[in-house]
Structure 1
């Protein structure tokens, strides 16, 4: 029996499938590694999101578990079957419903399900994955592929409490979104602490042993410098992380060669994913191994929700807010990242 024979197929192709640009970009080794690390680092500059992360202690208390489960969710939306995506989306909204509190600088309330907060999380992920694909991978997409990529970004946004009218449809609109967000972004001492921890998070994903120590330290150093090389100068200064243009150039050449090497071996990619994010491996394995699903169809979100009797996250969020208003009970940040988000029954 080959290794591929043991791979459990998905029920269907989910919401993208083999003809999607999302699969092309997210399957390249940059996506679920340095692309993801850039995502979580960039997220920390949004004050309300930082407040929720800081209050729950999700990153500081259980960094490897949090990393594993967040990466699993990101891969699930892109690669898993429709039933799994809808269930993950439903559970995520419920978990986020527990996370509310006060942002300490403004004194305003934050809500993890707030559409603006979810939009920031979603767009930093899709932009970071594409940007690292271009910088450390094969390069820019064709104009047609890029148009399709941003259309698929809009589709993926339907699994969060996001106003779809706010989702960029092009690179130019993505730039405009960042320009709109920049005056809102900030870096406190807590921001810088989280940025520092997340820049070094690659080493926490490898086994804690003497044998793995050199690999962990090398990976940590490369990913740290590689992630910083993707950040604009103002964000580096704000976050208290600096490095020279020479370091930027050297780490870019090194990582480009490394990812090109890894991309040539499916087994190497599977091994790395199992090592760094065991929960993500069953999600990505059927795609890497080209194991077709039991029902080779691609769904639209509307078709899948009608089939499984699920409501949209925005409707789910409306119900949560209505119930919250009825009880008038104070809400506090409670979820710490330990919930089995994707532990499907």
Structure 2
């Protein structure tokens, strides 16, 4: 049956047609709890500007506001986050993408929409004032309330279960998100007239200390939140079993189905020619740069993905050989396209506002901004 012919089971549920307007979306696709207030847009009880979780002058803002982060954020974030088994288990068992795929109702637009919202949902927490960041964090807490299971991996019952809102998973969701952004910045971001380069050890420690504040938005276990790179490395060692590769992580315990296969089959069944515009965008942002992104993450992460020596070497080489295209992806015209398409109108405003505050902080024009080492 053609994708445009709706079967009785999917009638009214599957909309395979993707117009330009649907692809772009409106504020409502990203917005939660009203329009976000930008950092500095409100006052704290003591009358000083509320700059939110990070604020102007922070190394975190140097990392998060860079055009490389705008372009590579979503595909790069998924690389590390989905090697953490409890997160992958939650997506595999509970995500709307999984539920739709099991019913044969998943389309390529659903996956694209998921990635769009993944980018836009972070901007208010990174770049909004404190009440905005807390509201969005609470929203994520609410929607993850039911995301829990007794079995992470059918072949490794000793790993136990998972709970998205539990302290362990909450902490690792934030850490894997933010650690990935650091890798993007250090390995893909052209800055200061130079090719991508690593921060100093002091700057890296400062970044992790700032990320610790972000982790506290999500009820992370206070005694485990790292504040230096050494502490973060030790935490990876402690939870190493939760990152090791496993061929059975793909299996949905409740049904025995392959998570990736049911996605592929449903998307193929529900194909429509108008979806080619989405496939072109995904080709640009993910397929073209896939190995370059993999080369930007740690060797340990690549091993946890099951990559052998040959693919590992290909990834590292790709990051270097594709530097001209990586540079092009960070230019204003490309960035404007990605901002509107993947981050949404609210995030565009938040990023513009935060960049101006960061500029002022570096110029010494914000005496009340934190005095930190610029990256």
Counterpart residue number, 2:198 = 140
1:188 to 228, 247, 251: 247
The residue number in structure 2 matching 1:79 is 127
Aligned to 2:105: none
For residues 133 and 197 of structure 1, the distance between their equivalents in structure 2, rounded to whole angstroms, comes to: 34
From the superposition, tell whether residues 282 and 191 of structure 1 become closer, same or farther in structure 2 (CA, over 3 Å).
Answer: farther
> Cα RMSD (Å) of the superposition?
3.7
Aligned to 1:277: 343
SS at structure 2 position matched to 1:16: coil
Unaligned runs of 5+ in 1: 1-7, 199-206, 301-345
Q: Describe the SS at the equivalent of 2:67.
A: coil
Shift of 1:24: 0.3
For 1:168 and 1:289, how far apart are their aligned partners in 2? 30
Contact 1:75 1:283 (8 Å CA) reproduced: yes
Please say if residues 60 and 207 of structure 2, whose CA atoms lie closer than 8 Å, have aligned partners that are also in contact.
yes
CA distance in 1, matches of 2:232, 2:55: 24
Change (3 A) 1:39 1:68: same
Q: Is 1:257 matched with 2:324?
A: yes
Residue 208 to residue 164, structure 1, CA distance change in 2 (3 Å): farther
Cα 1:79–1:197, aligned 2, differ >3 Å: closer, same or farther?
farther
Paired position in structure 1 for 2:61 = 23
Q: 1:210 offset after TM fit, Å?
A: 5.3
Matches within 5 A, 1:33-52: 33-52=71-90
Structure 1, 106-115 or 23-32: larger mean CA deviation: 106-115
Contact preservation (8 Å) 2:53, 2:130: yes
Instruction: Give the one of 102, 107, 111 matched to 1:63.
Output: 111
For the residues of structure 2 that align with 1:131 and 1:197, how far apart are their CA atoms?
31
SS across alignment from 2:149:
strand
Contact map agreement 1:101 1:111 (CA 8 A) in 2: yes
2:219 equivalent among 161, 166, 173: 161
Partner of residue 3, structure 1 = none
Matched, 1:103 2:151: yes
Q: 1:29 to 1:292 in 2, by over 3 A?
A: closer
TM-fit CA distance, 1:37: 2.1
1:197 and 1:292 map into 2 onto residues whose CA distance is 47
Matches of 2:37 and 2:324, distance apart in 1: 32
Task: Provide the aligned length of Structure 1 versus Structure 2.
Answer: 283
Select the structure with the greater relative contact order (CA < 8 A; seq sep ≥ 6).
1
In structure 1, C-alpha distance between the alignment counterparts of 2:83 and 2:313, rounded to whole Å: 25
Contact 1:52 1:110 in 2 (8 A): yes
Gap change, CA 1:172 and 1:34, over 3 Å in 2: same
TM-score normalised by structure 2 residue count: 0.63
1:174 equivalenced with 2:240 (yes/no): no
Q: Contact (CA 8 Å) 1:15, 1:298: kept in 2 or not?
A: no
Tell me the residue number matched to 2:363: none
Measure how far apart 1:103 and its partner are: 1.4
Which residue is equivalent to 1:227? 293
1:44-102 deviations in Å (ceiling 9; x for gaps): 23333222211113344432232222222322221112221111122222222222222
Q: Are positions 1:239 and 2:305 aligned together?
A: yes
**2:183 is the alignment partner of 1:125:** no
TM-score by length of 1: 0.68
Cross-structure match for 1:340: none
Counterpart residue number, 2:167: 115
Query: Separation in 2 of the partners of 1:233 and 1:250?
Result: 13
Judged with a 3 Å threshold, the aligned counterparts in structure 2 of structure 1 residues 246 and 188 are, in CA distance, closer, same or farther, namely closer
